Amino acid sequence: MKTLVLCNQKGGVGKSAVATLLAHHLAQRGRRVLAIDLDHQANFTKPLRLSGRAAITAFAADALLTGTPPPLPDKPFVLVPGDRALLGLERQPALHTPFARSFRAFLVAARDAFDVCIIDTNPNPDIRVIAALASADYVLSPIQLNQEAMDGVSGLLNHDRVGLRKIKAVLNPKLALIGLLPTMVEPTPFQKANFLQVVQQYHPLMIRIGAGPGAFASIPRRSCIAEAQAEGAVLWEMKKTAARDAWREIESSVARIGDIVTGAASTTNRKEAADAAAT
């Protein structure tokens, strides 16, 4: 099992929406998917619950940090839901190290039953995010192309508690940054200029989906993506033409990320990104 964490301290950048798309995509491709929602807002839990596709554990994700949870259902697509108890974990600093250890032990125990584990995180840099990053194989950072979010990319790499360089150096040398995924991209001159700026400034962190100069993974802003998220629909199965069009636009980006996590993609971009995160 390979573990992917969706992470960015910025709120509302599309972490949960991308986690949901990836989980459905990989399940559809026949991968055994374990979905974990570490966010008490439960925006990964809600769409997966509504979709009816995942078996949902009776316990919430805080149990993965606080002790030994009961066995997981023997199903190919399982969700450990988020709930408000997750909020209490940060307030128990003396237990943070045991929390991270329990989470890691849980992932090790689940490793033969699933191909991929997708973890959605909360935006505040707390023990949930640290525990996830400390045990994951991959991290993916959705970003928005506004100035504030772009300024935040440096924090993503260098934050003193959850910065990816620090986590990699101190807690988890195997952690590989798949890269930055611009989301909710709009065809405005402002966003186009920001896209160029991200590509220039963080070139090795962009996710290649082809050979062309602008061929990097990204997700446009489409109302049907928000609708799929709100209704628990699987985007490419929605009746609207707009939804199928949106899926066609994003499929290569979602598939590329899925291929990297499952080991089906070439490692070139992955190595570049890992090297960039390490320097």
What SS3 state is found at 131?
helix
Cβ distance 175 to 133 under 8 Å? yes
| 144 scored as a contact of Mg ion (CB under 5 A) | no
Contacting residue, 1, 3, 4, 14, with ligand ATP by CB under 6 A: 14
Which helix (H) or strand (E) segment is 254 a member of? Answer: helix 241-262
Q: How far is it, in rounded angstroms, from Cα 120 to Cα 36?
A: 6
| 15 scored as a contact of ligand ATP (CB under 6 A) | yes
Which is closer to Mg ion, CB of 12 or CB of 155?
A: 12
Q: Which stretch binds ligand ATP (CB under 6 A): 14-22, 90-98, 130-138, 257-265?
A: 14-22
Which helix (H) or strand (E) segment is 106 a member of? Answer: helix 96-110
Contacting residue, 1, 2, 7, 16, with ligand ATP by CB under 6 A: 16
Contacting residue, 60, 184, 243, 255, with ligand ATP by CB under 6 A: 184
Which is closer to Mg ion, CB of 47 or CB of 270?
A: 47
Please list every residue from 87 through 146 that binds ligand ATP, using CB under 6 A.
Answer: 123
Cβ distance 143 to 198 under 8 Å? yes
| 222 scored as a contact of ligand ATP (CB under 6 A) | yes
Amino acid at position 181, single letter: L
**266 backbone dihedrals φ, ψ, rounded to 5°:** -65, 155
Q: How far is it, in rounded angstroms, from Cα 202 to Cα 199?
A: 5
**Interacting residue ranges for Mg ion, rule: CB under 5 A:** 15-16, 43
Q: Which residues contact ligand ATP by CB under 6 A?
A: 11-17, 39, 41, 43, 123, 183-184, 219, 221-222, 225-226, 229
